[in-house]
Amino acid sequence: MFFKRPQHQVEQEGNQRLLNLIYQTKASWDHAKETEQAVYESQVNNELKERTKLQERKYLYLYERARKRGLHGKTNAGVIMQ
């Protein structure tokens, strides 16, 4: 009982881990898209396309989990704010 952390602190730590994972996965997805685009002129093999698609799916899954939790992270420069 003495070593228990408050529930909101545990939840905040979990939320921060999820956000960090989302940022890492987004960077990985962006890198995969750039790699695919760079070799687009040559024959792009299916493995490269599948890796890009996998990174996209990981990102979208994590993004959906964050939305369900009501998390808000850093503002993306690609998004127009009003």
pLDDT by residue for the chain (82 residues), tens only, comes to: 566 767 778 788 888 899 899 999 999 989 988 888 777 656 667 778 888 899 999 999 999 998 898 887 765 555 444 4
pTM (predicted TM-score) = 0.59
User: Is 39 inside a domain boundary?
Assistant: yes
Q: Of 20, 48, 19, which is closest to residue 34 (Cα–Cα)?
A: 48
User: Is 30 inside a domain boundary?
Assistant: yes
Up-side HSE of residue 51: CA atoms within 13 Å toward CB?
14
What's the number of domains the chain is made of? 1
User: Is 1 inside a domain boundary?
Assistant: no
Q: How far apart are CA 24 and CA 18, in angstroms?
A: 10
> What is the span of the domain harbouring residue 29?
11-68
